[in-house]
Amino acid sequence: MGNGARSSEKLKSASPVRVSAACTFLPILEFMLKLGAPVDKWLEECRLPYQIYEDPATYIPTKNYWAFVARAEKSEGVDDLGLRIGQDQSFDALGLAVVAATYAAPTLLAGIERFARSVRGVYSGMGVVLARGEKDTVKLILQKSFDTDVPGFTTTEWIGLTTLMSAVRLFTGRTWQPEVISLRSKRVVPPLAQALYPGAHIMRGQEKSFVSFPKQMLSSGRSAYGSEMVAKLKSESSVSDVPEPPMDFADSLLRILPSYLPDGYLSLEAVAEITGMSPRTMQRRLAADGLDFSWLVERARFDIASRMLLESDSSSLEVAFATGYEDPSHFARAFKRIADCSPREFRRRNLSQESF
């Protein structure tokens, strides 16, 4: 699995590929499946991994996510997809860790600060900024990694804004609505938006995406509705740490690769295509950190294998297939080059240490 002397400390410098946690994408996938859409075909066309179905903790390239959204909108004629997903499943898409971290804050102001930090772990290209608005209002601004001309922008803008509103409702309650919803998209506002937010002034074609509300609301404490949402998520999943956003280019690739390994997308050319760059550019950006692509793949394989060995009872054969090896003996030899022991011995040593 490559040179074990190289470590994650060397993964620094080049800007990261924008990635999103698969959990944020699953509500869209499930919605399209209910419509009977050819989801598997679209996944292949947009170079998204089938592993999304199996592990919502994996990551996918955000631009491919947006391409899938654009494909779905065009094929199914659903012009309010972002509103439907954001309104019904924004908490599920964010995941327990982000929602619980936000709700643990004593006030809305502190909650927004926590949300702005933690949400980048599931949407690395999403920024949240609190700014002064007109008179006695504040703006909660949504910053996105791609511009309005990128396919899928309008739907993902609505998903982002409804996500912001969901974070606010943890403190203000289920029925709260913003005074203003500002959209960068120039597309006609769907009727559903007017139905969902009858008290809001909705503007399109603006310089920034944001929602605004009275400044005095920032002192609001946690709501009973927020407690219900956190309890619901806890009943459906286990508490996990808030994920950190990718540090740099190599780190972002390490987030993406695990979801593609079971599908066999291991070549430099395939991963370059997935991330929207040329193989030469990818090699150059990795070389700037003293890394190469083969080491990156083997590092991703080792990370998956070590986690499976310690957190599940999967056999070595199952781990080998999950990491893209057709021959289990090749997996065992590659694993030993990094761990200095066999997969079986690695599991025995680490589990025995945890028992003390």
Q: What is the percent of the chain where pLDDT is above 70? A: 94
215 inside domain: yes
Q: Please report whether residue 191 resides in a domain.
A: yes
Same structural domain, 41 and 172: yes
Do 253 and 175 belong together in one domain?
Answer: no
Q: Is 23 found in the same domain as 165?
A: yes
* Same domain membership, residue 161 and residue 260: no
**Strand stretches in 87-188, DSSP E:** 127-132, 137-143, 180-182
Same domain assignment for residues 116 and 61: yes
Q: Which of 216-220, 232-236, 263-267, 333-337 has the highest mean pLDDT?
A: 216-220
Residue 317 tokens, joined: 């054969």
Distance (Å, rounded) from C-alpha 78 to C-alpha 81?
Answer: 6
Are 173 and 321 part of one and the same domain?
no
Q: Which of 236, 264, 279 is the last residue of a domain?
A: 236
Question: How many beta carbons lie within 10 A of that of residue 138, not counting itself?
Answer: 22
Q: Are residues 201 and 122 in the same domain?
A: yes
Query: pLDDT tens-digit profile of 34-79?
Result: 999 999 999 999 999 988 887 777 899 999 999 999 999 888 888 8
Is it the case that residue 118 has pLDDT exceeding 60?
yes
Q: Are residues 40 and 122 in the same domain?
A: yes
Name the residue range of residue 179's domain. 19-236
Please state whether 264 falls in left (phi above 0), alpha (psi between -120 and 50) or beta. left
Q: What is the pLDDT of residue 1?
A: 46
pLDDT of residue 244: 86
Q: Are 346 and 316 within one domain?
A: yes
Among residues 194, 217, 236, the one where a domain terminates is 236
CA dist 115 → 56, 121, 128, 222, 235 (Å): 20, 10, 8, 14, 21
Predicted local confidence at residue 205, as pLDDT: 97
The Cβ-side half-sphere exposure at 63, using a 13 Å CA radius, reads 13
Q: Give residue 7's pLDDT.
A: 40
Instruction: Say if residue 282 is in the same domain as residue 336.
Output: yes
**Cβ–Cβ under 8 Å, residues 91 and 98:** no
Higher pLDDT, 56 or 161: 161
Quick check: is 111 in a domain? yes
Residue 129 pLDDT > 90, yes or no?
A: yes
Angle at 123 between CA 290 and CA 90, to 5 degrees: 160
The CATH number linked to 224 is 3.90.1520
Instruction: Judge whether 258 and 304 are in contact, CB under 8 Å.
Output: yes
Q: What is the mean pLDDT of the chain?
A: 89
Structure tokens at 347: 């599991």
269 in the same domain as 219: no
Give the residue with greater pLDDT, 128 vs 243. Answer: 128
How does DSSP classify residue 242? P
Work out the average pLDDT over 82-100.
89
Sequence-distant (6+) residues with CB within 8 A of 241 are: 97
Domain tally, the chain: 2
Helices (H), 12-152: 22-34, 39-45, 62-76, 81-94, 96-103, 108-118
For residue 240, pLDDT beyond 90: no
Residue 266 pLDDT class (50, 70, 90 cuts): confident
Residue where a domain terminates, one of 193, 217, 236: 236
Query: Quick one: which H or E segment has residue 27?
Result: helix 22-34
**What CATH number has the domain bearing residue 313?**
1.10.10.60
Residues facing 141 on adjacent strands = 129, 210
In a domain, 181, yes or no: yes
Is there a single domain that holds both residue 265 and residue 338?
yes
> Which tokens sit at 129?
């900024």
In a domain, 1, yes or no: no
Q: Does 174 score more than 90 pLDDT?
A: yes
3/216: higher pLDDT = 216
Please name the residues in contact with 140: beta carbons below 8 A apart, sequence gap of 6 or more.
112, 128, 129, 130, 164, 168, 210, 211, 212, 213
